[in-house]
Structure 1
């Protein structure tokens, strides 16, 4: 629990720092890029999925800010970073929980395709989307009746041959 709190604190600090960068002057952003752009890729290999997600989002923000400041911006380890991000997006290692892999893949895909944050549905909306039990029972009964009728027809056709 202590390490979880520490990890959550680090994640919040990284996200807060990224938020502050969005209001910084271009000259200040360039200084921060020079200092921190080399450090952030190491966070992409962290064991905590939320830290990897926060690091990936922060890297994306830094690249966006760098390109706004300088259209000719080039990152020297771009191939290495691209490989790391690709491996994270398609991560299927057994040592990572399935929920963590799915969450990480969804976040990276939503970021890549600019889909925005996931929709938050309340219980009433989810309940309204479900098929009511009565309708399900009626559909099951109709399916069973169709199956019986077809099997009777098939048996008669089989005897003709």
Structure 2
């Protein structure tokens, strides 16, 4: 089989990313009082990181002991998510357009799809550390609360690897966590 001339394509470079070495972010760094986050027995997650961002999708990671919570927030109308725990259990709650509450639990080998525009909350449950990957569409503003200026979660990101896949440009690369191969 003859392959096309790859010189006409974007640069072809793959990367490996070590999740444990990506610099995490404190989603609630700017929150007024962290004690007011969630309900009784709930607190911010122990670790969150934006692992990868491209023109098309993002991959984030959350690690938390039971009771850790990403408190209520509202996704923009074009943002849906796939939540995939690889360890522990997660409880995801959202309110539909009628205001009815829906709750799903998931563990390893399970995924939870969260619909676009969902007003939702993500909580570590059970008795072991939750390790959760979240894959979602790339959009300009992921939370409605950010657009109207009432977000209690920090809107900044610090991706381990950010690539403009349309132009083949690497915008961010955390050297301690990412290597080309």
TM-score range, shorter chain: under 0.3
Larger Rg: 1
- TM-score scaled by structure 1? 0.25
Which structure shows the higher strand fraction? 2
- TM-score scaled by structure 2? 0.22
